[in-house]
Structure 1
Amino acid sequence: MTVQDSPARTAVLPDVVARGRLFIGGDWRGASGGGTTEVLNPATGRPAAAVAAGTTADVDAAVAAAREAFDDGRWSGLSGRERSRVLARASQLIRDRAAELALVESTDVGKPITFATVVDVATAADQYEYVAALAQQLDGPVRETPLPAHAFTRRVPLGVVAAITPFNFPLVLSSTKIAAALAAGNTVVHKPATDTPLSALLLAEVLTRAGVPPGVFNVVPGAGATLGDRLVSHPDVNKVAFTGSTEIGAHVAALAGRGLRPVTAELGGNAANILFADADLEKAVGTIISAFVFNTGQFCMAGPRLLVERPVYETVLGILKGAVPGVPVGSPADPATVVGPLASRRQLEKVSAMVDAARAAGGEVVTGGAPLELDGGYYYRPTVIAGLGSDAEAVQEEIFGPVLTVQPFDTEEEAVALANGTPYGLAAGVQTSSISRAHRVSAALDAGIVWVNSWALLDPAVPFGGVKAPGWGREYGPEALESYTRTKSTLIGLG
């Protein structure tokens, strides 16, 4: 493993982030209870900022502001073209402030600064740009009917959307929901992850400068369980958009269901990457490594399970043993860093415990397998584990760290059965030179998105989402925007 020598830099955060206040009804304010939450820099374990700790009273105030803003039409009453102009400005402002946003994201999550810039910030800007175009196309067809009437449909916004996001991609996953909800004409109350709320505050400033009216977008950081439960069950919330763990997602869906509120839930993942013997091994192994170390493995669409056709199994293990230790691990501030720290001490402890359990279950640690002491941060060595059975915890459950399990297979049918043999079905990969095999296997995989001879190619135009434990609904594409609207039919009598 290559360890970067540069120390984690002390970030000078933008003023709106450093102040750490709630954003409700267009105003920055402290929490009603006066409390704050310390946000730690994962690269050092030291405080990076103090953010107002919202209360249920603050959630109520944010929902009331969003409800008023929706009902009076200051945003929902605009034409799609008018909303489009605002969202296009937001996209450009995100690009203009890329350095600030990347610094905030890197400080908050421990994300390597290079990735934060070229992946996270660029993706967020693309999201607003894409939905800005879709906002102008929210119309419905005229329907032919034998009735004595002219019948047509419209797509209309739902109302107040609760957007609840996790710690691993704060800017991207917030924007995924917020951009689509706003494009459709809804108002939003955003509850960011407790550990990583900083980019949500800067995003509030960006959207305000772009022209989003007061009350249309609100941010309430704070304790996840308390605020999330209140937000999801609030009678004035019309839709819940959630990304997080499967366990919490089930809880959110149950709460929302009591009020018959629609839910989009993008939950956990444990994707299999299938490597056939006819693949270009050099290219495939590079893809495999990227798939499990990207974002320090904290990626619901990571590829933590590698299935290798038996004739090349030992060869692939040897290549991984030689290549993985060379992945640059170190300070997120170093542009050369590929793997930074995990987002929290809690996540570091979880990953460590799961690797220890895999070792105890008979797994062979090919490389890695231990934390890395560096600057007091939450680092874990990129790890490859072989020799585990399909019922092992590390194979069945989401590790959410830079850990890869490797299993052999003999037939195409066995590979598909192994890949589909967990509760998860968010993503999958196929590495092969056979176009017919690529079509057969990708069709048989029980996953919402399949990458062939690639990994994690994502674009706002292409929908993704899971089956089974990863939840339901789709993000990205026109499908996402449709989930933030309802169909309204009108019949005008001709008699």
Structure 2
Amino acid sequence: MDSRAIEEIVAEVLNKMGGNSRSLAGSSKPATPTPAIKKATAGNRKGVFPDADSAVEAARGGYESLRKKGFAARAKVIEIVKAMCSAKAEEWGKIELEETGIGRLDHKIEKLQILSKVPGVEWLKPYGMSGDMGISMEENAPFGVIATITPVTHSIPTLSGNIVNMVAAGNAMVINAHPGGAKCAAMAVDAFNREIEREVGIENLVTIIEEPSLESFNALCASSGIDLICVTGGPGVVAAAMKSGKRAICAGPGNPPVVVDVSADLDKAATDIITGGAYDNNLLCIGEKQVFILEPVFDDFVAAFKRAGGHQLNAKQLETLTNEAFTNSKDAGGCSHPVLNRKLVGASPEMLASHCGARVAAGTPMLFAETDAAHLFVQKEQMMPMIPLVRVRDMDQAIKLSVQSEHGYHHSAMIHTSHVGHMTRMGQAMNSSIFVKNGPCTAGLGLGGEGYLSYSIATTTGEGITTPQTFTRRRRCVLVDALNVVG
């Protein structure tokens, strides 16, 4: 696909989002730099480049240096990144929140502290075979230089998690960050590179384009120096990456449904849904977005949700907030349709309440309201701490509406039940990359559940929760000889 076609795809999506066609992912305008951001991004920064070509060239040199230094260097880089994220979590969390203006500070900090759960070189296991005809060894080889597109929702955590995964696999990286989080991303890249150069002796292992744009994205897609593309973002950028002619690993959108049946522990279900759905003001792509509750326990669940801290909106307040949260836009064919108001993405419950005339107690984690299944808050990935509750007559309807509202993204889903058969039926119907039973969505990434963490969940291309192995090529090395034949 040529660059003009890619540009048309992304520009159309940005127009729907109310963004600027010159920026990659639709930030309406660059955030005004605060004193903290100015200080953090001043000076001659390591790994920060003005354009895609210079960033790719520098990263190629970083890749060659890493290749020569081997696994020990990879392990040391991962140690550095994890240690820095832990030590600087509070400082970097504050800077990211200042720049992006979305989410919650405590969760911005925590997302950096938990980088320790992202797997490293230990994930790469060779597989050996031997027999009369010789020896074969299958190993994980790097791709080379990976272009990564990172979101505004988790700017520093996503690029940091990608560094761990990709460098563990032996790769170097070029980052095209969301414009709304580009300054804090460049700050982190500079800090990582300085420490990596000091400790490991490798320059420009991770590079970033200082002012990311549609042009820089197109340049990365077209560059002969890029061996793989990894996108964490919305459907437009994912579509463009997949049509670029390069191998792409794409962590696309999600709209995760939740089902609560008559056998569920309602108080635990309510607490879990708020824990996951309210995390960072519902910015997580895995976060609970709509809940389908079986009719016999609906009213009891509403009571449990209130006990867990949720604040219920009445019909008039819901209507007012819906009109604020979604605006009308026209597509290329001139048809009008609702699109998300980006100004309310990641907003606090208090801010959302102020838009609809509701009064909520300080610290309220989540708003909720009863809706029908066709409501915009059900059908759109809205990323706000306002969750719709939908009555359903039985499990068949709950599963059917869950599949429909998730729109075939195959991203994430949750169920609260004591019925193993219901778990099985929903899991098979959703066929999602993450399926959590009787827990918050975060349990699907090892937070309150077993497993490992990654901020890039490749749902569109099917790799699922990314690991170092995701970013390797499988290579077979064969030694031919009659090793086991005597005489």
TM-score, normalising length from structure 2? 0.73
Q: Which amino acid in structure 2 is aligned with residue 483 of structure 1?
A: T
1:486 aligns with 2:473: yes
Aligned equivalent of 1:237, options 226, 229, 232: 226
Aligned equivalent of 1:417, options 400, 415, 424: 400
Contact 2:193–2:203 (8 Å) recurs in 1: no
Partners of 1:264 and 1:349 in 2: CA distance: 35
Aligned equivalent of 2:370, options 358, 382, 386: 386
Q: Which residue is equivalent to 1:406? A: 389
SS in 1 for 2:69: coil
Shift of 1:173: 1.5
What are the equivalent positions in structure 2 for 1:370-381 lying under 5 Å apart? 371=355
1:105 aligns with 2:96: yes
Q: Which residue is equivalent to 2:9? A: none
RMSD: 3.3
Number of positions where the alignment pairs a residue of Structure 1 with one of Structure 2: 402
What does the per-residue CA deviation read over 1:78-104, in whole Å, with 9 as the maximum and x for residues that have no partner? 221332123213322222222222222
Q: Which residue is equivalent to 2:107? A: 115
What are the equivalent positions in structure 2 for 1:218-233 lying under 5 Å apart? 218-233=207-222
1:19 aligns with 2:42: yes
Aligned equivalent of 1:397, options 367, 376, 380: 380
Q: Which residue is equivalent to 1:275? A: 260
Structure 1, gaps ≥5 residues long:
1-9, 32-57, 328-347, 359-366, 374-379
SS in 2 for 1:425: coil
Change over 3 Å in CA distance of 1:109–1:301 after alignment to 2? same
Q: Which residue is equivalent to 2:464? A: 474
Change over 3 Å in CA distance of 1:424–1:86 after alignment to 2? closer
Aligned equivalent of 1:92, options 41, 63, 83: 83
Runs of 4 or more off by more than 6 Å in structure 1? none
1:438 aligns with 2:423: yes
1:80 aligns with 2:65: no
Contact 1:22–1:219 (8 Å) recurs in 2: no
Shift of 1:416: 1.6
What are the equivalent positions in structure 2 for 1:47-58 lying under 5 Å apart? 58=51
Contact 1:131–1:179 (8 Å) recurs in 2: yes
Identical columns (%): 16
1:64 aligns with 2:57: yes
Shift of 1:107: 1.6
1:312 aligns with 2:301: no
Shift of 1:253: 0.9
Q: Which amino acid in structure 2 is aligned with residue 252 of structure 1?
A: A
Q: Which residue is equivalent to 1:185? A: 170
Partners of 2:65 and 2:219 in 1: CA distance: 26
What does the per-residue CA deviation read over 1:229-263, in whole Å, with 9 as the maximum and x for residues that have no partner? 211221110011110012221111111xx2xx221
Q: Which amino acid in structure 1 is aligned with residue 411 of structure 2?
A: L
Q: Which amino acid in structure 2 is aligned with residue 105 of structure 1?
A: E
Change over 3 Å in CA distance of 1:407–1:432 after alignment to 2? same
Partners of 2:478 and 2:306 in 1: CA distance: 67
Partners of 1:248 and 1:370 in 2: CA distance: 33
Q: Which amino acid in structure 1 is aligned with residue 251 of structure 2?
A: E
What are the equivalent positions in structure 2 for 1:288-307 lying under 5 Å apart? 288-307=273-292
Contact 2:193–2:205 (8 Å) recurs in 1: no
What does the per-residue CA deviation read over 1:241-290, in whole Å, with 9 as the maximum and x for residues that have no partner? 110012221111111xx2xx221111101011111122222221122223
SS in 1 for 2:243: helix
What does the per-residue CA deviation read over 1:291-338, in whole Å, with 9 as the maximum and x for residues that have no partner? 3322222221111110001012233345546742399xxxxxxxxxxx
Partners of 1:267 and 1:61 in 2: CA distance: 28
Partners of 1:357 and 1:325 in 2: CA distance: 25
Q: Which amino acid in structure 1 is aligned with residue 108 of structure 2?
A: A
Change over 3 Å in CA distance of 1:369–1:446 after alignment to 2? farther
Shift of 1:488: 2.1
Contact 2:149–2:231 (8 Å) recurs in 1: yes
Partners of 2:162 and 2:323 in 1: CA distance: 30
Contact 1:88–1:132 (8 Å) recurs in 2: no
Contact 1:396–1:423 (8 Å) recurs in 2: no
Aligned equivalent of 1:215, options 199, 204, 209: 204
User: Which one has the bigger helix percentage?
Assistant: 2
Contact 1:270–1:300 (8 Å) recurs in 2: yes
TM-score, normalising length from structure 1? 0.72
Change over 3 Å in CA distance of 1:93–1:114 after alignment to 2? same
Contact 1:449–1:465 (8 Å) recurs in 2: no
Structure 2, gaps ≥5 residues long:
1-32, 314-321, 329-336, 340-349, 358-363, 483-487
SS in 2 for 1:102: helix
Contact 1:157–1:186 (8 Å) recurs in 2: yes
Partners of 1:149 and 1:74 in 2: CA distance: 33
Contact 1:160–1:186 (8 Å) recurs in 2: yes
Change over 3 Å in CA distance of 1:487–1:132 after alignment to 2? closer
Partners of 1:306 and 1:77 in 2: CA distance: 52
Mean CA deviation greater in 445-454 or 220-229: 220-229
Q: Which residue is equivalent to 2:452? A: 461
Change over 3 Å in CA distance of 1:357–1:197 after alignment to 2? closer
Partners of 2:323 and 2:295 in 1: CA distance: 33
